[in-house]
Structure 1
Amino acid sequence: MRKLFFLISAVAWSAVILYLCLTKSSNIPTIDIPNLDKAVHAFFHFVFTSLWVLFFRTQVRNKNIYKPLFFSFMLSVFFGVFIEIAQQLFTTTRSPDMFDILANITGAAFASFSILVFIKIRGTKP
């Protein structure tokens, strides 16, 4: 049951990101704060990576966190790059941005680092 919950959560969050990044930009409310979109990208991928770690962690028998963390981080990077390419190919109001990719990677890296710190503080082996 836990596996299914984590899978549904991760897939649903992925779908939300995909929708928001590919929808017509005029449909998304704007707030005039410089580089806010980069913070949003980082947040999206922080949560994305965290949710996929939870799911992948249920898939491995041992308690080692490194493999689920690595797969989740790489999935986040590839998903972010895919979205930027899809914006170029499938939308007319969006364009790819290398800084969005960097923000995505930053969010995924921060999630990975935070998970490792949390495990260290909790006193369990990664």
Structure 2
Amino acid sequence: MTRLTKKLLAPKFLYFLGISYSLLVTILFLMPAQDVPEVTIPFLDKLVHVLIFSILSFIWLLIFRNSSKIIHTILWICLIIWCYGIIIELLQQWFFDTRNADSWDVVANSVGILTGVLLFQRIKARFSLKK
């Protein structure tokens, strides 16, 4: 493993990355709709949800990659991130006049979470991520 890879996988860096990215995602999803650029490409917003939640789940899986019960950890991370996505949708519906909850966003979030897990499994097996 290269020195750069070791630095990028250092626990302090990963925790900083995970918390920072989670805060950024929260801020972006709770921005008033008039501050979000108008896009005319069909379903682009769903693709963005898939991408954002893929990265989110991948980062948190990297943080807890050395868990002794990795399957259990993966399931918990997926559940927590999935609930986080639902909470974001509910907050958009309840507290922002310009935003609406969308069940298809939850579906896209779920696809993103699963994509992040698959990417994590592939990377973990390929580079044998250990402490």
- TM-score past 0.5 threshold: yes
For residues 1-126 of structure 1, what are the structure 2 equivalents within 5 Å?
2-57=10-65, 60=67, 62=68, 65-122=70-127
Output the CA distance in 2 between the equivalents of 1:122 and 1:6: 17
User: What is the deviation of 1:121?
Assistant: 4.1
Deviation per CA, 1:72-95: give whole Å up to 9, x if none. 211210110010011112111101
Where do 5+ consecutive residues of structure 1 fail to align? none
Output the CA distance in 2 between the equivalents of 1:41 and 1:75: 16
**Superposition RMSD on alpha carbons, in Å?**
2.2
Paired residue total: 122
> What is the identity percentage for the equivalent residue pairs of Structure 1 and Structure 2?
25
Where do 5+ consecutive residues of structure 2 fail to align? 1-6
Match of 2:3 in 1: none
Q: TM-score, normalised by structure 2?
A: 0.82
**Secondary structure of the corresponding residue to residue 57 of structure 1:** coil
